[in-house]
């Protein structure tokens, strides 16, 4: 016959502590987790302009650029930040950026899209 041992008081206290900790964790407001969600910025590219052509970010902010070319294939490049992608017409391309350091960074179209292409650029300002 197997002998049953009584429930140990120290174990009961330990389980009660765990239950209290779980209840406390469950009561933490849900909105604290949403603070880490990056801001989204829509950027359109059409011959021969980006809209907006000025993007202001705060230092240490994370954003996602939602890039869309409206007419022909474009390129999007931010050489200072090591960012480069193609923009097929009509398709949204998401580019994450973490603004680690303050500064001014030029972005530009790096796929020739016609006369006027050379002036197709903009600025990302991180302050």
Interatomic CA distance for residues 51 and 44, integer angstroms: 5
Q: For the chain, give me the number of helices (H) and strands (E)? A: 2, 9
Interatomic CA distance for residues 65 and 94, integer angstroms: 6
**Once rounded to an integer, what is the mean pLDDT over residues 76-97?**
97
SS3 36: coil
With beta carbons less than 8 A apart as the criterion, state whether 121 and 53 touch: yes
Q: Is 0.75 surpassed by the pTM of this model?
A: no
Give the pLDDT confidence of 72-86 residue by residue, as tens digits. 999 999 999 999 999
pLDDT at 57 over 90: yes
Token pair in block for residue 20: 């209290």
Give the pLDDT confidence of 61-70 residue by residue, as tens digits. 999 999 999 9
- Number of C-beta neighbours around residue 108 at 10 A: 17
For the chain, list the domains and their CATH numbers. Answer: 36-126 (2.60.40.420)
């Amino acid at each position: 016959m197997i002998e049953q041992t009584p429930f140990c008081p120290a174990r009961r206290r330990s389980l009660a502590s765990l239950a209290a900790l779980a209840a406390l964790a469950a009561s933490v407001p849900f909105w604290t987790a949403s603070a880490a969600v990056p801001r989204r910025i829509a950027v359109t590219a059409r011959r021969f302009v980006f809209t907006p052509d000025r993007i202001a970010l705060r230092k240490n902010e994370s954003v996602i650029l939602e890039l869309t070319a409206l007419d022909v294939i474009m390129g999007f490049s931010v050489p200072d930040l090591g960012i480069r992608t193609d923009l097929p017409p009509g398709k949204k391309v998401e580019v994450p950026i973490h603004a680690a350091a303050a500064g001014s960074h030029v972005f530009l179209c790096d796929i020739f899209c016609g006369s006027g292409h050379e002036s197709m650029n903009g600025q990302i300002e991180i302050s």
